[in-house]
Amino acid sequence: MSRVLITGSSDGLGLAAATLLIGQGNEVIGHARSDSRAADLRRQAPGIAGVVVGDLASAAATRSVADQVNALGRLDAVIHNAALGYRERDRAVTADGHEQLLTVNVLAPYLLTALIERPARLVYLSSGLHSGGTPSLADLDWERRPWDSFQAYSDSKLFDVALAFAIARRWPDVLSNAVTPGWVPTKMGGPGAPDDLAAGAVTQAWLAVSDEPAAAVSGAYFFHQRPGEAHPAARSPEFQDELTSALATLTGVKLPA
């Protein structure tokens, strides 16, 4: 049995992964952004071991989530699933002064990675759209560029892959990988998405707990339990270091050595 945290697990892929892992006999800690969504999660996943609560659009709430998790004891794995999609028509700024999509999709998983006691495995949800991401850190908050939600989303998913690979390189004792679930019918993907939601949750759950040799790897990008091609920039140690340095500046928190 493994102890696994899944962020953004009150619906969609996060809930599907939680249900799958609970069914396999694992201890799952869920996450919801509000008390009402936490109550929904407990109803939908009655076997869940606990739920931590906090809106990942807030740095203070994200730190609180990390504190809540650490109070529960060390985890075996964390699945960084929570994300905003590319349907954000207007640029939104959080109370901390950062663009909201960047905050939830990139700053939050970075903060949680830095602040949660180091688990044995980390899984970062990305997207096939990361291949269209721009490997530039010049205007992360979209203050100077005309807002483009599709590009902002693609960029964020590229950063997530690069973060996963950066952790794999910096923490050799941790298995850190990125996953694309496919285009699945979640709130983000829309009802017309052609891929299977249940199948989309399998790979992250497998990477979090499986003893199969194919899952016991690090620094890989997966689609349906098979390694795929990641954006070349995500493989660059220089880009990885530049990204983690930029995220440390934006959050005020450095990754532990």
- 3-state DSSP assignment of residue 96: coil
CATH number of 3-251: 3.40.50.720
User: Which run of H or E residues covers position 197?
Assistant: helix 197-209
Question: Do residues 140 and 99 touch, judged by C-beta distance below 8 A?
Answer: yes
Per-residue confidence (pLDDT) for residue 86, from 0 to 100: 81
| 84-103: average pLDDT | 92
User: Predicted confidence band at 192 (pLDDT cuts at 50, 70, 90)?
Assistant: low
| 170-187: average pLDDT | 82
Task: Give every strand in the sheet of 175-179, ordered side by side.
Answer: 50-53, 27-32, 3-6, 77-80, 121-125, 175-179, 221-223, 226-227
Per-residue confidence (pLDDT) for residue 87, from 0 to 100: 73
Report strand pairing: 221-223 vs 226-227: antiparallel
* Residues with a known catalytic role: 153, 157
